[in-house]
Amino acid sequence: MTDHNDDHWLTRPATIRKLWWGFSVVLALTVLAQLVIYVKGYFTVDGWFGFGAIYGFLCCLLMVLFARGLGYFVKRPNDYYAESENDA
């Protein structure tokens, strides 16, 4: 067998750190753009400063929490796909 090195560029800690910084800067610039670009909301609350970022974060957080809760109901045992001793 050949020695396989799983050092993909997206798994390196330095790359992950750079991506976090880059995405954080893009998010901050997007929110700060609302200082110079007028956003007229359909409802009162969606015209508030940073509403889109806060709403998106909260929705993502709720989806993750819902998925974790759902995992408790659909979880299978670790040996679910293993051959049982009676089948052998």
Q: Tell me the pLDDT tens digit for each residue of 12-64.
A: 999 999 999 999 999 999 999 999 999 898 999 999 999 999 999 999 999 99
Alpha helices (H) along 1-88: 13-32, 51-74
Where in the chain are the domains? 9-38, 40-77
Q: State pTM to two decimals.
A: 0.66
Contacts of 31 (CB under 8 A, 6+ apart): 49, 50, 52, 53
Asked if pLDDT for residue 2 goes beyond 70, the answer is no
Which tokens sit at 72?
A: 């408790």
Contacting residues for 49 by C-beta, under 8 A, at least 6 apart: 31, 34, 35
